[in-house]
Structure 1
Amino acid sequence: MAASLLLVFVLTIEEFGTPATLGAQSGYFVLVTGIHERFSDWPLDIPGASVLSLLLVILAMAAFYFQHWLVTRRSYISVTGKPSAIEQIELGRLKWPVFMLFMLVAFISVAVPILAVLATALSSTLSGGLSWSNLSLRHFEALFNNRAGALQALSTSLGLATGAALLTGILGALIGYLVVRAQVKGHKLLDFLSLLPNAMPGIVVAVGLILAWNQTHWPIQVYNTSSMLLLAYTCLLLPYPVRYASASFRQMSENLEAAARVCGAGFVQMFIRVLLPALSPALIVAMLLVFAIASRELVASLMVAPAGLTTVSTFVFGQFEQGSPGLGMAMSVVAIFSTTFLLLVLTLLGRRRLSGEY
């Protein structure tokens, strides 16, 4: 329980969308919004943003360290070595109170926000309130008529998310092989670096990318291009394919590679024709997860996107700030249901893979 609370603390302290949308209007600022303000408002305060980023990294890393310490300091094993049967404990009279409490929490945390988004997207005017006469599809019509560049934002997010999924999938497969199978010198450091973005707040990664690539000595100019946003998504989401690929490689027998080499296959042929088919179910699930997260990513999109490039998340954020919540909520509905569909596909693929294994 303590470890899970520390994990919630880390995810909360690096959360950007909620304090930027709700807190800024009431004058309530946190570390992440302070970093964004120093990078977005003139005059730019890069040293101040760097100091706040370091402070945020220290807090996040300290919480992750204590979380890891709490999880790993004790281990429990079966004394007999035999698996014990799972015994369900009946709640008795507490069954319905527990069920109602769960439904209440689910209704407040999930149903109410989604219903509010739907109500705003389907309302002709905010002042009209919730009434049949105020129901309208004009915000969706404006969305698909490309008002304020909505279709470009949608296509940009889908394209960047697809690119990030493919790039992280390729890198994740190669890194997983190097860490688990090749055992090259420094493989532990490589494994640590591939997982580091999970412990780093997203806004800190974005600040680091800006400071690293906003230099004139680079032979290729990545800063202020769409490639910068693709690089940010890749850095933030690479841990997912790496973990999935590493877990799959650990479950594969090394005899597969030995048999391929005996039959005369080189590394590339062995990797593509032997390992990749066995790895593909887990890798596809990881790539779908990357696609779903990248298609709605906000903090990196706001920080490193070049001028004139809009994604789904920045479009919604901009419409909310400009006083056009209806159009922004219509885009949110499209993003919510598309992401939900992808997560359902991911779940079905994961269950099919598990059923195939057992």
Structure 2
Amino acid sequence: MTFNIFPVVYFAVSRSLLASGTRLAVVARVHGASAWRAFWHVTLPMLSPALAAGMLLAFTLAIEEFGVPAALGSRAGVVMLTVGIEKKLADWPVDLPGAALLSLLLMAVALFAWWLQRRLVGEKEVTSVTGKPGENHGASLGWMMLPAVLAMAAVGGLAVGVPAVSMMLTSVMGTLSGGVSVENVTLRHFAALFDQQGDALSALGTSLSLALGSALIVGALGLLAAWLVMVQKIKGRGMVDALSLMPAALPGVVVGVGLILLWNQPFWPRSPYNTLWMLLLSYCCLLLPWPVRYVGSALRQLGPNLEPAARVHGASPLQALRLIVLPLVFPALLAAMLMVFAVASRELVTSLLLSPAGTQTVAVFIWRQFEQGSVGQGMAMASLTLLTGLVLMLTALALMQRRTCG
């Protein structure tokens, strides 16, 4: 779970570093501070909002994780709240009161984490002087270069390399008992993906479309919510901030059941139930906290005089948001949208509960292949999805880099 979640903190902190630049740390070094002193007294305090936001999201993601505990926890005798909730809803008789009680406990833990973050960070404003992204000049690590590179390579290898290689090998193995050998290599699992009446490719297209739609919708809503709370400082902003965290604290299974109970009522003239709109709605409900937190941490670094200056020169609040605020927080917003895209493309629990009849997402397709014993086809689909998502996200990052350099 640690290797699965640590990119959340990395994306938040790295975008914050890009926004603040290195000029303040350089000034500290010029005035005699050592590298560690400049980091401790200058860089780390400026990163505190982004670090706290990333850690809060990581915590809530960890306590609401379902896939890893369900797959590995049972063998180790570890039962987490999300697995307990799923069992109460899946086993007969269905225990809705018990599931609701565990869900409330999970929300209480997440809200305590939110309160603790507010106590640690408070209303502190961390401003990067003008709000403009600063230049980041490379620093020489000296003798620490090799240990740092080896440490990052080890983390990347354990978090990405080992699972990816294992997945790729399984996808080209004819039989698991045959082991890794030239005689056991085959591409029939990939060929089978194109021979299943288009089910596999349809599932891939459905997942990518839903992930893209979710990223665009929650990106826009998250930017607006963070702007209203951090910049406009509307009344009740504390409640809005708390409500923006709640979806991250809710397990996907709870959100799925809640949406079923809500939209499966006879009094609705039209209902998204049993359509792809239901899946899109569930993804947006679950992933809205990501852009709110990422953009909120970026907004803390903007100077307080930027939007008032635009207003003095005749800009409306929305014009100031579009022409001043959005370009400055765009790196953080894009990072959040990329994370939303990545998570939505592999969302399992709500997809299992809410997928319309005859429609599959990638996660549902892989899950059912495992249930049927077709591990090779499941891994082939996972490999194809990984490569497709990686190409799309790297393309988006390249476009952002080109936009920044231009």
Q: Which interval holds the TM-score relative to the shorter structure?
A: 0.7 to 0.9
User: Which residue of 348, 353, 357 maps to 1:303?
Assistant: 353
User: Which residue of 92, 95, 115 maps to 1:45?
Assistant: 95
Number of equivalences: 342
Question: Is 1:253 matched up with 2:307?
Answer: yes
1:172-191 counterparts in 2 under 5 A? 172-180=222-230, 182-191=232-241
Shift of 1:69: 3.9
Asked if 2 retains the 8 angstrom alpha-carbon contact of 1:123 and 1:136, the reply is yes
Shift of 1:7: 6.9
- Range with greater deviation from structure 2 (307-316 or 273-282): 273-282
Question: Is 1:142 matched up with 2:183?
Answer: no
Question: Is 1:33 matched up with 2:83?
Answer: yes
Match of 1:124 in 2: 174
Question: Is 1:113 matched up with 2:163?
Answer: yes
Letter in 2 for 1:55: L
Shift of 1:184: 4.2
1:226-305 counterparts in 2 under 5 A? 226-243=276-293, 247=298, 250=302, 252-261=306-315, 270=319, 274=323, 278=327, 281-282=330-331, 283-305=333-355
- Range with greater deviation from structure 2 (286-295 or 182-191): 182-191
User: Which residue of 337, 352, 358 maps to 2:387?
Assistant: 337
Shift of 1:87: 8.6
Cα distance change on mapping 1:223 and 1:281 into 2, 3 Å: same
Shift of 1:307: 3.8
Q: RMSD of the TM alignment (CA)?
A: 4.1
Question: Is 1:323 matched up with 2:373?
Answer: yes
Match of 1:82 in 2: none
Cα distance change on mapping 1:89 and 1:330 into 2, 3 Å: closer
**Structure 1 vs Structure 2: percent identity of aligned residues?**
45
Cα distance change on mapping 1:144 and 1:256 into 2, 3 Å: farther
Per-residue Cα deviation, 1:190-222 (whole angstroms, up to 9, x for no partner): 343234333444444334434433433333323
Structure 1: which 5+ residue stretches go unaligned? 78-84
* 2-structure distance, mates of 1:56, 1:76: 31
* 2-structure distance, mates of 1:11, 1:273: 31
* 1-structure distance, mates of 2:235, 2:117: 28
Shift of 1:121: 0.5
Asked if 2 retains the 8 angstrom alpha-carbon contact of 1:38 and 1:44, the reply is yes
User: Which residue of 260, 269, 272 maps to 1:219?
Assistant: 269
Asked if 2 retains the 8 angstrom alpha-carbon contact of 1:179 and 1:190, the reply is yes
Match of 1:58 in 2: 108
TM-score after normalising by structure 1? 0.77
* 2-structure distance, mates of 1:303, 1:132: 40
Cα distance change on mapping 1:165 and 1:9 into 2, 3 Å: closer
* 1-structure distance, mates of 2:72, 2:79: 10
* 2-structure distance, mates of 1:89, 1:276: 34
Asked if 1 retains the 8 angstrom alpha-carbon contact of 2:110 and 2:246, the reply is no
SS in 1 for 2:176: coil
Per-residue Cα deviation, 1:283-313 (whole angstroms, up to 9, x for no partner): 5554343222211122322233344331111
Question: Is 1:20 matched up with 2:70?
Answer: yes
